[in-house]
Structure 1
Amino acid sequence: ERTLVGREVKQFEGSIKSLEVYPDAPGEKVSVSELMLRLSEVQAGNRANDKKKEELEQLNRDIEGSKQRLQIMEEELGRLQKKIHDAQLFINGLHETKKELKSVVDGLVYGDEEDMKNQIARADETNSQIEANIKFKNESDRLENKKSKYQAITRKIEKIDANKQKQLSEINFPVSGLSFNDNDVLYNDLPFDAKQLSSEELLRVSFAMAIAARPNLKNILIREGSLLDENNLKLIGKMAEDAGIHCFVEVVGDDASKATIVIENGIIKGSDVGVEEVADEDFADI
């Protein structure tokens, strides 16, 4: 029996040597469920801690943000305070200006506009009258100048007329009643033309003027003798006979029996002398 127990001891000793021993392990087994419960509690605590930590960090961020905003507001407040200060200075300046201006306004005196308007209206009327007087004077002066010029010209014309009359009075006209003005030769104060004088008057005066203009004249040629009647031809003959000159009367026609000289084709019939060869100074042409 003792041997059997000895063998068992050795078996146990051998078994013990192969086994691991943990001196620090607790004496009783750990409950996993309890550990799981404790893990949940730890995790919950850690989450709560993380939350508190996050809240702290958020508070720090909020504080920093608030500080920045406060700084910005303080800076803005400084600017506003400066603006307020400047505005107050400006208002004080306005009060000083107002005080000075009020003293000026209190002493203002308004003029009478209606009186000035009346004066202006009267001034326009007065100026119009003055302008009218000036215009009247200018026109009067021009009139006097024109009158003076007219009178001077009149005196000059009268002097010329007087001198002309003097010269006319000294002229020995070949025909009584013969005169002239600025425009016409006159006979008995009538223009010397066929509208005013008879053919006899025209012929007699023209004949007398031709003789007087050329005292040594020996021949007179009367153009368009066909227009003269018998009485005028007789008058011409008598005047030529009294003056002692030859009178040739131009008559155009086919009957040469009454003619003294006949001209055909520019040649005096019965001679070789052409009409153009007769000197102009030998004849007075009327």
Structure 2
Amino acid sequence: MSVKINKLEIENVKRVKAVKIEPNANGLTIVGGNNNQGKTSVLDAISWALGGNRYKPSRATREGSMTPPHLQIVMNNGLVVERKGKNSTLKVIDPNGDKGGQELLNSFVEELAIDLPKFMDSTSKEKANILLQIIGVGNQLFELERKEQEIYNQRHAIGQIADQKKKYAAEQPYYPDAPKELVSINELVKQQQEILARNGENQRKRTEVEQIRFQLTQSQQSIQTLTDRIAELQAQLVTEQQSFSNLSADFETAQKTVETLQDESTEELQQNIAEIDEINRKVRTNLDKEKAEEDANQYQNQYDTLSNDLESVREDKAALLTNAQLPLPGLSVDDGDLIYNGQRWDNMSGSDQLKVSTAIVRKLKPDCGFILLDKLEQMDMATLNEFGQWLEQEGLQAIATRVSTGEECEIIIEDGYVAEDKLSKPEGGPTPQQATPTTPTWTKGAF
């Protein structure tokens, strides 16, 4: 069972002269009144009574009072907490009559419950760290977030390089008619020499044909000359005829061979040799473009891999928080900030901020069933009602102050006294609204 405040009696603390309140067991109890009437003094007195001397006001005794402060709080577990006397000595008595001290109170009183503004005024990251520590995943989440940031930074750098590589590759010119590899001038010269050698052999054969043609002509002339001497030179004629016949055969063979010969042109090679620097420039340009595109693709692949790693880490973070015992549905942590129903702290409504703060305080010390809230005048009625309904639903108790005397205030403080108490239950007659400052009479609801 969570510990709450059943009844509190305060006398001569700061602006309070004499106040007795029995707050709602569940939900919101608003202590209202105008400024400088003692509303905040009520909360300060409760903080001092339950939290110890570190919450003692610097000027605890009411100005002008000859009587020292007196505080008494009765908790719903029967525990009685009292401070009285010149030194405001603490006395804690449990239901069995045994005495205790501040150590007993510390076992169920959460520091932030009596000083909730300390939590609400902290930074969003400080709030998130408190939540992560109480649900026991702070170190794990820190490591995942460190890994997430590391991968994100690495991916960002790779992405920038990939973009630069893509732009560089896109800006490079390309010559589709250029060969795939650099052209060697030695190879071109060698090809040219081979062609020239073949052409030289063809020329040699042509020369040989001309020689044979010349010899044939000479032979014909000899035949003509020898015809006149045919009788004398019959034997020689036969020889010459045979020679002629052989030469004719050779001529016919050589002529047929020459007719099939076709010289190869070196014009293209000569042009290539002349343009080799330009060709190789285009080849190098194409190779540079292909290399740039390859680099861009490699960095894009690295970027995609890192994106997958980043998504995996984020899924681990989400799973870690999903499986954690969070104090409020819809409450989480993202990038070191508290998130409730998708909203960061500065975008939460006032009611949601109070819900989140109260839920975290309760998680810090589950036995603490109450909180103290000062200055709720900034909240409209809809927000107050919503927060009050949530407190009742959760079985929590809140005692709050508000600069107001409206219907939302169950207790009205005037000049250090309870001027109106809507929570009191008259016993046989009207409840007095005020008593003398020096000799307060403790009656249910007011003094």
TM surpasses 0.5: no
Q: State the TM-score, normalizing by the size of structure 2.
A: 0.27
Q: State the TM-score, normalizing by the size of structure 1.
A: 0.40
Structure holding more helix per residue: 1
Higher relative contact order (CA 8 A, sep 6+): 2
Structure holding more strand per residue: 2
Bigger radius of gyration: 1
